[in-house]
Chain A
Amino acid sequence: MRKYFFLLSLFGILLLQGSCDGLFEDIYNTPAATVSDGYGFVETNTTTKSGTIYIDVTSYQSWTYISLKNKTIDTSNIVLGEAEPHVWDFAMHRYDVKTNGGAACETSYSSLDEVRNGGIPAGAVFVHDTLSQVVIDMSHMMEGYLGYDTTEVNPVLSRWLDVDLSSMPPLYTLSQKPYIMRLCDGSYAALFFSNFMNEASVKGYVTIKYIYPL
């Protein structure tokens, strides 16, 4: 009988050992509030001419401009009428993508390595940016309207992420296809959008792997 009481007591002590605010906190990850590698060109490899870009696109009011040539990132606020930078190759507003006078095609490859080995697909059709509208103000959605800005957007590059609003919460699906972008100077870059969340699974943080020049 003592054995049973001992087992019960042991069980009780194990439970009561837990803090008032819960048990097993250690089984979870606690990513740092700030990104360890920061934002921007977080990886670059001059040998393979490739790298990784990590940007914050949480704001509906900003474009984030990326220059592959200069390895620079700039932002400008649409609502405040801030000017775009002098040099940039492509830009992102939330999950919309535009080019600086360039064009893009979607490949059937599944990785940048395949692009590197296969090159630009024969017969690839490059699509230029078209005039479109991007949402810059969500705050009136409940009142039945949104704030838009009319701008050029590349319809092919913007296919990198499908946001299905037919279910709540929306379903986010990556195309997982590399894209080839022809820049206005005639050079080519390969882009692979691999994630749209940060380490804590918060949406609006985009990871882009690239090869430039291709």
Chain B
Amino acid sequence: MKGNFTVKILLLLFAFYANAFSQRTISGTITDIATDETLVGVTVHVAEMPTKGTVTDKDGVYRLNLPQGKNFTIEVSFVGYEPQSRTVLANEKGQVDFVLKQKASILDMVVVTGTRTPKLLKDVPIVTRVITHNDIAMQDATDIRDVLQTEMPGVEFTYSMGQQVVNIQGFGGNSILFLVDGERLAGESVFGNIDYSRLSMDNVERVEIVKGAVSSLYGSDAVGGVINIITRNTNDKWNLNLNSHMASHNEQRHGGTLGFKAGGLSSITNVQYASTDAIKFGNDGDFGSLAAHHSWNLKEKLTYSLADKLKLTAKAGYFFREREAQQLSHERYRDFSGGFTGEYTFDTNNNLTVAYNFDQYDKSDYALTNCYDVRDYSNVQHSVRTLFNRTLVSDNILTIGGDYMRDYLMTYQFADNSAKHQHTADVFAQLDWSPTKKLNLIGGLRYDYYSDAAMHNVSPKIGIMYRLKNSSLRASYAKGFRAPKLKEMYMNFDMASIFMIYGNPDLKPEKSHNFTLAAEYTKKSYNLTLMGFYNRVSDRITTAWDRAVDGQVYVNMSPLQIAGIDASASARWDFGVGVRLSYVYTYEHIAKGEPELSSTRPHTATIRVEYGHKWRKYGFNIALNGRVMSAVTCDEYTSMTSYTETVKATYPGYMIWKLSVAQKIGRAITLNTAIDNLFNYVPEYYYSNSPTTTGTTFSVGLSVDMDKLF
């Protein structure tokens, strides 16, 4: 009897303790409210148990074991997102999902362009502007032109010789360095501009823009700034996006992106087709029409990660564009690219990147009469780059790197379509130093060597950032340079029997001295940025008429100066309204008598007002974007062969507004509709710097994430 009683007591105690100490599992998925994508590495804490916590895995899933019988608060936080918390009741178990919303401020976004190391935007001592994936998606943008013109004042894309050319606050396409994932692009369409239609916005994570000289990190061409396009990676088991866009002038874009991740291997394949009919402009002008064209863009990125130590990336790309330039012949443009990147993390403080990149850009004429496709231009670049980052005490970062590039150019602009090549090499170092939490200093130095001109160049940079509670002050000096291109040194081109253009092997590199002073104030979702800049560009490379040869010759011209103010203000409120105003004043001065004269518009602005709301299965965002460009009055030479007599010329200003509505239907479908040039602006005369618009146009775009459809 006594024994039975003891057994009962023991069983009762066991049951009591078993209940008290038994565990329940809480798990769930954490996703982004805007994209519905799962988030990897989100920190999940239990408020009542400071030592209890986890992070989401590669599928965005977390799992916590909690004791039964007590309420707990689960706190979720992730860089760049609003934190969330939720109470789970005493006996609750099973799935508890979280949907996170990105912070209205993008200052918590990680960027790389300004320092070549991943840093939060708010911590970068060099002023960096970021255009996010969401910005791009809202615009239903096709290529980089759509994005830059809408987001940044002072940007003008126009056409010359039927090709897109850009002017960004006085700097042309040959003074702005465009990169894709940090790699430069081969070839030029015209006047040193790369082929911007190569830069499709499908599968782009963000665009980072650093204005001013950045040659201390990127070398030649970074005289007026760097625009770095960062492509996306995938963390999903698989995903498939299909999208289509149709607009006036039979503009079409159809594309798809397929991604998968299996173990350490992930892949993203992107295909895009775009086409537009010919456009005839109703009014007179410097140009009367734009030719029809179509293009294909294929990209593949394979990534293999091994135990968080080693990450290998292989890339390949093919681009094809055909411009129906003439009745009997079309112009064709092709690009073949590929490369490898290996990133090795020795430990938390040391990281090495080694990369090889190949890029070949060809131009050919395709005759419709005999189907001959005859190449007359090929630029081939092989480059190898290394980058070593070492984090020193107190999060100070030392960056050391070196690059080598072989540059080959065959062109119809050389005598007898001949070819030239040269080798370039560089080394650079940078120290990113934070002596106090409020103060950040950065200094860098780069040495470049160009074999063909036997040219050396040293590019220094120094920057300082001082942070207060809600604001920061930045100041920087940097030297930029642009080495003479092979074309500029060796051209020997008969311009339609009218005149010859000769290269000049004695050209000096173009150099710039850039001073920037910036102040930024951010509180909650309000942001105010004010920046002043001054650039002195010496030895700018251009063509000038030479009476001795009765033709044009590449020369270095006397200094030009570009100064200005860049101001922007943005706000976003919880009830869904957002506003962004950006304004740039640019003053450009070139002394008379030089072969080029200033023609940059002094005042430009972009405006965006938007309102959006999201329910569980439906969301929308309506946005009004405006581009305001002031008139410009400038001096122009009366003769093309003498730089003495000038006359005043005025080019009219204009405004272009775009109204767009983006609708999210369920998790998978996004429908974009837009009216561009809302107020039907049509130039009375199409000057070379007029917008290539025929008036109001309409577009509709559909994007479907197939993996989220079912």
Contacts and interface: CB of A to CB of B under 8 A. Distances in A.
A4 B266 CA distance: 11
Nearest to A12: B340
B373 A28 contact: yes
Contacts of A60: 497
B254 interface: no
A22 B421 CA distance: 12
Interface string A159-175: 00000101111011110
Contact of A142 (B367, B370, B375, B641): B641
Contacts of B62: none
Contacts of B293: none
B375 A8 contact: no
Nearest to B365: A201
B340 A8 contact: yes
Given A20-B380, A201-B365, A11 B288 contact: no
Contact of A143 (B378, B419, B639): B639
A63 to B, nearest CB: 16
A167 B419 CA distance: 30
Nearest to A161: B327
Interface string B596-635: 0000000000000000000000000000000000000000
A125 interface: no
B59 to A, nearest CB: 21
B372 A167 contact: no
A62 to B, nearest CB: 12
Given A143-B639, A169-B161, A169-B162, A23 B304 contact: no
Nearest to A203: B496
B130 to A, nearest CB: 31
A31 B375 CA distance: 10
Interface string B351-370: 00000001010101111011
Given A144-B639, A167-B162, A197-B328, A8 B374 contact: no
Given A28-B373, A200-B365, A200-B372, A22 B378 contact: yes
Given A21-B408, A142-B641, A171 B289 contact: yes
B372 A23 contact: no
A12 B315 CA distance: 10
A28 B364 contact: yes
Contacts of A117: none
A70 interface: no
A46 interface: no
A172 B358 CA distance: 37
A23 B340 CA distance: 17
A201 B375 CA distance: 10
Interface in A61-105: none
Contacts of B287: 166-168
A27 interface: yes
Given A60-B497, A138-B498, A21 B314 contact: no
Interface string B319-334: 0000001111100000
A135 B509 CA distance: 40
Given A11-B314, A20-B380, A173 B302 contact: no
Given A29-B373, A171-B289, A8 B312 contact: yes
Nearest to A164: B288
A171 B326 contact: yes
Contact of B497 (A138, A169, A196): A138
Nearest to A27: B373
Contacts of A164: 288
B302 to A, nearest CB: 7
B382 interface: yes
A29 B498 CA distance: 29
Interface string A2-33: 00100110011001001011111101111100
Given A169-B162, A195-B328, A23 B314 contact: no
B187 to A, nearest CB: 11
A201 B329 contact: yes
Contacts of A199: 367, 370, 372, 374
A173 B288 contact: no
B360 A201 contact: no
Contacts of B69: none
Interface in A168-206: 168-169, 171-174, 194-197, 199-201
Contacts of B82: none
B367 A20 contact: no
A143 B547 CA distance: 11
B372 A31 contact: yes
Nearest to A142: B640
A200 B314 contact: no
B466 to A, nearest CB: 46
A166 B288 contact: yes
A197 B367 contact: yes
B385 to A, nearest CB: 16
Interface in B546-566: 550
B545 interface: yes
A173 B378 CA distance: 28
B108 to A, nearest CB: 34
B497 A197 contact: no
A131 interface: no
A142 B304 contact: no
B499 interface: yes
B312 A23 contact: no
B390 interface: no
A139 interface: yes
Contacts of A4: 265, 304
Contacts of B265: 4
Contact of B326 (A27, A138, A143, A172): A172
B360 A30 contact: no
B26 interface: no
Nearest to A58: B497
Contact of A174 (B312, B328, B336, B375): B328
Contacts of A174: 327-328
A141 interface: yes
B338 A172 contact: no
A122 B695 CA distance: 46
A22 B289 contact: no
B328 A20 contact: no
A5 to B, nearest CB: 8
Contacts of B408: 20-22
B688 to A, nearest CB: 9
A11 B328 CA distance: 38
A143 B421 CA distance: 35
B107 interface: no
Nearest to B547: A143
B419 A21 contact: yes
A15 B358 contact: yes
A152 B316 CA distance: 59
B359 to A, nearest CB: 10
B373 A195 contact: no
Contacts of B294: none
Contacts of A144: 639-640
B498 A141 contact: yes
9 contacts: A11-B302, A20-B408, A29-B373, A139-B499, A142-B545, A143-B641, A195-B328, A200-B365, A201-B372
Interface of B: 160-162, 265, 284-289, 302, 304, 312, 314, 316, 325-329, 336, 338-340, 358, 360, 362, 364-367, 369-370, 372-376, 378, 380, 382, 406, 408, 410, 419, 421, 496-499, 545, 550, 639-641
Given A12-B314, A20-B408, A20-B421, 14 more contacts: A20-B380, A22-B380, A23-B360, A28-B362, A31-B372, A142-B498, A142-B499, A144-B640, A167-B289, A169-B161, A169-B325, A172-B326, A199-B367, A201-B367
CB-based closest 10 A-B pairs? A166-B288, A201-B365, A22-B380, A28-B375, A29-B372, A142-B640, A15-B338, A141-B498, A138-B498, A200-B374
